[in-house]
């Protein structure tokens, strides 16, 4: 083997080594590239899932906030509606009670109810009936007769009070029965609660 052949043989060994090394490096690079791509994809998926999860949470928070605001607005609307209805019903009730007292038959029913309450709840003894101006004398006598069974022959004392719009105030000793318009509506909270309950049971049109 001459020098040229030896050189060619050595060159072939070098090329074979180079080819093998290049193939190994390329394979390693490809594997590393695949690994990096997989990791990149996994990281991108993780970031995407995190972004999606955060966006969903923000959307849920916005929804909860919107629902809370809507609920608050509904409650405020209902409260305003209830207040308007109660104001209207309150004025209607006052007007109806005034009408009942101005109507002779309605006034007689009112007085009979008051006398029955007085007989049942007030102690025996002289009574004072405070009444609005203009209560007819005949009706006063009817009220006196209604009390006669409890108080014997002693008639009640009648006191006219122009400040009373309607109804009666009956006093016996230290006991007092206020069945005047003002007295009946004195406990506004209780009356409004009953009015609201009646309004809620009222069928809608």
Average pLDDT over residues 100-117: 94
97 or 55: whose pLDDT is higher? 97
SS3 content of the chain, % helix, strand, coil (to 5): 75, 10, 15
Segments of 18-174 assigned E as strands = 127-131, 157-160, 167-172
Could you name the CATH architecture of 104-201? 2-Layer Sandwich (3.30)
19 or 98: whose pLDDT is higher? 98
Average pLDDT over residues 150-173: 86
pLDDT confidence band for 21 (50 / 70 / 90) = low
Query: What is the predicted pLDDT for the residue at 35?
Result: 76
How is residue 87 written in tokens? 């104001």
Residue 192's H or E segment, with its range, is helix 188-201
Q: Is the pLDDT of residue 121 over 80?
A: yes
Q: Is 22 exposed, middle or buried (0-12, 13-18, 19+ CB in 10 A)?
A: exposed
Nearest to 107 by CA among 63, 139, 155, 59: 139
User: From CA 38, how far away is CA 33, in angstroms rounded?
Assistant: 8
C-alpha R_g of the chain: 49
* 8-state DSSP, 152: T
Query: What is the predicted pLDDT for the residue at 170?
Result: 95
């Amino acid at each position: 083997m001459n020098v040229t052949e030896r050189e060619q043989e050595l060159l072939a060994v070098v090329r074979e080594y180079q080819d093998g090394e290049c193939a190994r490096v390329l394979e390693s690079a490809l594997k590393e590239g695949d690994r990096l791509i997989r990791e990149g994809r996994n990281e991108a998926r993780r970031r995407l899932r995190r972004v999606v999860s955060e966006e969903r949470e923000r959307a849920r928070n916005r929804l909860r906030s919107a629902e809370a605001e809507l609920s608050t607005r509904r409650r405020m609307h209902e409260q305003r509606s209830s207040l308007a209805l109660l104001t209207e019903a309150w004025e209607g009730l006052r007007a109806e009670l005034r009408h009942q007292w101005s109507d002779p038959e309605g006034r007689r029913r009112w007085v009979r109810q008051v006398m029955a309450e007085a007989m049942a709840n007030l102690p025996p003894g002289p009574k004072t009936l405070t009444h609005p101006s203009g209560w007819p004398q005949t009706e006063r006598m009817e009220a006196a007769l209604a009390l006669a069974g409890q108080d014997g022959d002693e008639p009640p004392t009648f006191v006219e009070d122009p400040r009373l719009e309607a109804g009666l105030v009956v006093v016996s000793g230290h006991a007092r029965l206020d069945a005047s318009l003002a007295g009946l509506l004195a406990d506004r909270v209780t009356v409004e609660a009953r009015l609201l309950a009646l309004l809620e049971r009222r069928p809608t049109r």
